[in-house]
Amino acid sequence: MASEHFDVLIIGAGLSGIDAAWHLQKLCPAKSYVVLEQRERIGGTWDLFRYPGIRSDSDMLTMGYSFRPWTHPKAISPGADIRAYIIDTAHDEGIDGHIRFLHQIKKASWSSAEAAWTVEAARTWPDGSNAPVTFTCNFLLSCAGYYRYSAGHMVEFPSASVFRGRIIHPQAWPEDLDYSDKRVVIIGSGATAVTLLPALAKTAAHVTMLQRSPTYVISMPEQDRIANALRRVLPMHWAYRLSRWKNIGFMTFLYQFSQRFPEHVKKGLIRKIREHLGPEFDVETHFTPRYRPWEQRMCLVPDADMFEAIKSGRASVVTDQVERFTEKGILLKSGKELEADIIVTATGLVMQAFGGAEFVVDGRAVTPAKLLAYKGVMLSGVPNFASIFGYINASWTLKADLICNYVCRLLNFMDRKGARQVTPNGFGEVPVAPFVQKFTPGYIQRALADWPKQGRKSPWRVYQNYLLDLISLKWSSIDDGALEFSNPNEASHKAESSELAEVAR
């Protein structure tokens, strides 16, 4: 089968994929590249999710690209605006011409003898049929996100089949769903649930959010007044940079303060919710989590829209557990029955590393759970490969931007050094922690056993701190002693993959 060759192959044309392509064009202009996208459109998450009210769960001044100012007045922005921002960036920068749509990665095989990846993909044709296609590349960069696109996490609820209404998962929201004047129950309490509740409550008869336990919910203004004011008096790029750093500083301070004084932060968050909902509302039951702040991601609501929907009487929160589904709705453990016409199962995501592709290095299958993460970017023993995993306590794009910059620095260093292969060497490092630490959401806990591990010290640590990553990824030397640069040939490629073989044993 004939294959096309590129210097760099990028997996995914979402927010991170377009970021990676821009950096390659600007910092490595001589490199040829292609972006393989399994969907038929640009946008990734922001094209996939189409449920009512879909919006950013962090401010767009930090979730936007470092090189393209976010100019909308809404810092907490609707999904359609974010999708348009990504599409416009790809078009204006000429990136869209490098994207191959409807190409799903199946397998990537590294050969040290050739110093190249062979990437096998399935191309979907307009009639729905699939055809195998093959690409080769010198460097592989996964921007495929962290969760499975094909389906979300589905909980098997007892007697779900007897329910006479519709059961919907937000990841597969039907375009024809009419919820006007309908009774809706949302099962879940995460970012999706708190987004759906106020959006559905505008026209539904009533919306109930059913949760097993509360989540921290924080209200912030939909518009950033300081950022909007700066745009009126400063050049666009300066206003954006200042606003971006202002918000980075605030998020970093809030997270670090929460780590050091969790009870103080908890009391403050609960006090604000009481101010929104009034003294009669049972905040203790419905909005006081059992865990510390930032052990799970805080749910952001713009301009207290969720609390306003509850105060209006069009929405409510029930903290209980599902006993079973009934014909009319849901029977709870407490014995109460919630009647519903529509049940939305906002039960979470399924984490999936590297787009679900199979990886092989010199004939040996790669098992990520047995490897160490190098700077949260590369894998020990896996040559010429990097992936993007953003922050759990800040905007995803902040780290994606640093990783894209780092990969370009690495590629340019390899060219200057005359090296065709770079491999993180994890000998001597002992895995001591999961890829993500002190973070307990269900979608994370269900998957961590299959993800790479952290070591004891840098560069084998995965930080959740933008300033530390700025030093590690942008300002530190590429040649730090943990990376092996080589020019393997057919006679020596087995020795170059010795670490992966050792880990596999």
Provide mean pLDDT across the span 366-377.
95
Cis peptide before 459 (omega within 30 of 0): yes
Provide mean pLDDT across the span 217-223.
96
3-state per-residue secondary structure call for 128-153: CCEEEEEEEEEEEEECCCCECCCCCC
Report DSSP state, residue 93: T
The token pair that represents 77 in the structure block: 């922005």
Whether 17 contacts 143, CB under 8 Å: yes
d(C-alpha 477, C-alpha 49), whole Å: 39
pLDDT (tens digit per residue) in 224-250: 999 999 999 999 999 999 999 999 999
Q: Would the pLDDT of 492 be above 70? A: no
3-state per-residue secondary structure call for 168-225: ECHHHCCCCCCCCCCEEEEECCCHHHHHHHHHHHCCCCEEEEEECCCCCEEEECCECH
CATH code assigned to 160-345: 3.50.50.60
The pLDDT score that the predictor gives to residue 490 is 44
CA distances from 451 to 223, 353, 362, 366, 436 (A): 37, 7, 21, 11, 9
Q: Which pairs count as long-range contacts for 477-481, CB under 8 Å and 24+ apart, including other chains?
A: 478/409, 478/410, 478/413, 479/413
List CB contacts of 33: < 8 A, sequence separation 6 or more: 6, 7, 8, 9, 10, 21, 24, 98
Provide mean pLDDT across the span 43-56.
95
Residue 361 phi, psi dihedral angles, 5° rounding:
-120, 115
The pLDDT score that the predictor gives to residue 313 is 97
Using 50, 70 and 90 to split pLDDT, how confident is the model at 2?
A: low
This prediction's pTM: 0.93
Q: Would the pLDDT of 489 be above 80? A: no
CA distances from 90 to 2, 68, 71, 82, 387 (A): 28, 11, 17, 13, 20
CATH code assigned to 3-149+350-504: 3.50.50.60
d(C-alpha 415, C-alpha 411), whole Å: 6
d(C-alpha 391, C-alpha 399), whole Å: 7
CA distances from 210 to 11, 122, 321 (A): 37, 40, 8
The pLDDT score that the predictor gives to residue 423 is 97
pLDDT (tens digit per residue) in 414-453: 999 999 999 999 878 888 888 988 887 887 888 888 899 9
d(C-alpha 233, C-alpha 214), whole Å: 42
Q: Would the pLDDT of 188 be above 50? A: yes
The pLDDT score that the predictor gives to residue 315 is 98
The pLDDT score that the predictor gives to residue 439 is 83
Identify the helix (H) or strand (E) that includes residue 230.
helix 225-233
pLDDT (tens digit per residue) in 113-160: 999 999 999 999 888 889 999 999 999 999 998 899 989 998 999 999
The pLDDT score that the predictor gives to residue 392 is 87
d(C-alpha 300, C-alpha 306), whole Å: 10
d(C-alpha 18, C-alpha 31), whole Å: 16
Q: How many helices (H) and strands (E) does the chain have?
A: 15, 25
Identify the helix (H) or strand (E) that includes residue 276.
helix 262-277
The token pair that represents 92 in the structure block: 């204006």
Q: Would the pLDDT of 498 be above 80? A: no
Q: Do domains 3-149+350-504 and 160-345 have the same CATH topology?
A: yes
The pLDDT score that the predictor gives to residue 438 is 81
d(C-alpha 413, C-alpha 483), whole Å: 12
In the block, tokens 């052990």 appear at: 295
Q: Would the pLDDT of 6 be above 80? A: yes
In angstroms, the first-to-last Cα distance of the chain is 33
Higher pLDDT, 110 or 490: 110
The pLDDT score that the predictor gives to residue 15 is 96
For the chain, how are helix, strand and coil distributed in percent, rounded to 5?
35, 25, 40
d(C-alpha 331, C-alpha 328), whole Å: 9
Largest CA distance in the chain: 76
The token pair that represents 81 in the structure block: 């605006």
d(C-alpha 104, C-alpha 121), whole Å: 5
The structural domains of the chain, with segments of one domain joined by +, span 3-149+350-504, 160-345
Average pLDDT, rounded, for the chain: 93
Using 50, 70 and 90 to split pLDDT, how confident is the model at 1?
A: low
Q: Would the pLDDT of 57 be above 60? A: yes
β-pair type (315-319, 337-339): unpaired
